[in-house]
């Protein structure tokens, strides 16, 4: 993520956003009236028609982002792990959000400065991760191509929109997913859209949201000093032979542990007995860093929720002709995106999101009543979002849940700039 002055960026023209705001109000009123007239009643699922699917997924297994300090105990990340399985081959082109050239990726440049034992760079997708993503693509193919003829068997840009963070492991993870989803694809290249690091909203943009950066400044280090976390970190470091002075916290430990376990590697024989403790304390650290107040969660994931909400609203807008809205949206994100997303939806299980995990959001319309419903899945399992009476959630209730944390571009930029304005005033 590039440091510098936060640039104002709009995801959609103001007129579109205003009409969408009016539309969601009208839809909520209409749905509320229908429920008031008919009361709560069981929904005949045979009369539901799938209209749209949004899939938010983490990349596949990769090398660690930061190696543990003892070189003699580090595992070997051999470059043979980068071999591409032929089944996952899939041509694609990366553009910015307007169709222009692929933006520069400062994070990839940063990762390439860290060469791990064995020759790999930090954060590289491996063939294990490629297979994981291919398997996710196959699962989506079974659900939306084979079990029901929702998607075309070959990629159709009129049906599918693909967006990823501009980080190579995510772009390559998306490639593998598409190869599993569209194995008969003969035409290409496929376009994967991405944004510049300075305006990215598919991960918490700490570098360019001044208010968010100020909120979490020093909190990661402070988390390791909190009662309980501090004692457990000391115990684990001693058990693994890591010096107390080494800058290793539970997030670094979990990152290495998860990467090693995914590839059947082991740096510390005693690591296995600390597995659950390391994961739980890593989650506790993130929760402490982000805190649990509404505004912090808004700044972390609010703009991305706004994208998901807008896709829903466009799909239900009667002004949009049938067949003119996309059927599938794919978003390649990170664990730091998924955790706050799960929190906002009220389905966080206090476990670290694993490699290749997905949140899938299905939109249905009842063919008789014309009511709209949402079905939410995490890691393939049905979920009941906060504020919803059942797994099949009326759209208005789901939108109410999202609205608590959703931030439109104007509000996001206003909140992000507040701390920057205060800093400038204090400097005068």
- Closest C-alpha to 110, from 66, 75, 71, 76: 66
pTM of the model: 0.89
Question: In degrees rounded to 5, what are phi and psi of residue 90?
Answer: -165, 120
Bridge pairing between strands 358-366 and 372-378:
antiparallel
- Closest C-alpha to 253, from 230, 280, 296, 282: 282
Catalytic residues: 59, 335
Q: What pLDDT was estimated at residue 419?
A: 63
* pLDDT of residue 3 exceeding 50: no
Bridge pairing between strands 372-378 and 381-383:
antiparallel
- Closest C-alpha to 331, from 169, 148, 165: 165
Token pair belonging to 97? 């959000």
Confidence grade of residue 38 (pLDDT, cut at 50, 70, 90): very low
The β-bridge partners of 377 are: 360, 382
- pLDDT tens digits along 96-148: 999 999 999 999 999 999 999 999 999 999 999 999 999 999 999 999 999 99
- pLDDT tens digits along 291-308: 767 898 999 999 999 999
Direct distance between the N- and C-terminal alpha carbons of the chain, in angstroms, rounded to an integer: 28
């Amino acid at each position: 993520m590039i440091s510098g002055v936060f640039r104002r960026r709009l995801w959609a023209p103001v007129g579109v956003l205003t009409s969408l705001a009016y539309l969601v109000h009208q839809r909520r009123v209409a749905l509320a009236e229908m429920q008031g007239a008919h009361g709560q009643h069981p929904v005949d699922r045979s009369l539901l028609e799938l209209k749209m699917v949004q899939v938010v997924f983490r990349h596949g297994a990769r090398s660690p982002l930061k190696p543990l300090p003892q070189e003699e105990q580090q595992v070997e990340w051999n470059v043979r792990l980068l071999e591409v399985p032929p089944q996952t081959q899939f041509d694609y082109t990366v553009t910015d959000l307007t169709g222009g050239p692929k933006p520069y990726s400062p994070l990839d440049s940063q990762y390439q400065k860290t060469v791990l034992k064995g020759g790999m760079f930090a954060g590289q997708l491996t063939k294990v991760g490629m297979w994981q993503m291919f398997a996710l693509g196959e699962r989506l193919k079974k659900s939306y191509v084979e079990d029901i003829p929702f998607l075309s068997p070959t990629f159709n840009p009129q049906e599918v929109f693909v967006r990823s963070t501009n980080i190579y492991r995510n772009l390559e993870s998306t490639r593998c997913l598409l190869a599993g989803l569209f194995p008969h694809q003969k035409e290409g290249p496929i376009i994967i859209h991405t944004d510049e690091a300075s305006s990215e909203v598919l991960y918490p943009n700490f570098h360019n949201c001044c208010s968010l950066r100020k909120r979490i400044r020093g909190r990661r280090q402070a988390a390791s000093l909190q009662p309980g976390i501090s004692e457990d970190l000391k115990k684990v470091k001693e058990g693994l032979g890591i010096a107390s002075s080494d800058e290793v916290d539970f997030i670094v430990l979990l990152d290495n542990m998860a990467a090693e376990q995914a590839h059947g590697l082991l740096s510390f024989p005693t690591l296995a007995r600390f597995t659950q403790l390391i994961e739980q304390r890593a989650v506790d650290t993130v929760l402490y860093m982000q805190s649990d107040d509404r505004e912090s969660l808004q700044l972390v994931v609010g703009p991305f929720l706004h994208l998901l909400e807008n896709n829903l609203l466009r799909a239900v807008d009667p002004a949009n002709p049938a067949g003119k809205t996309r059927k599938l949206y794919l978003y390649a994100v990170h664990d730091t995106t998924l955790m706050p997303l799960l929190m906002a939806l009220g389905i966080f299980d206090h476990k670290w999101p694993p490699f290749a995990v997905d949140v899938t959001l299905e939109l249905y319309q009842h063919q008789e009543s014309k009511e709209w419903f949402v079905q939410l899945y995490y890691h393939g399992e049905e979920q009941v979002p906060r504020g919803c009476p059942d797994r099949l959630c009326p759209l208005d209730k789901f939108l109410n849940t999202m609205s608590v944390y959703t931030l439109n571009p104007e509000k996001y930029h206003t909140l992000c700039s507040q701390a920057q304005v205060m800093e400038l005033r204090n400097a005068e």
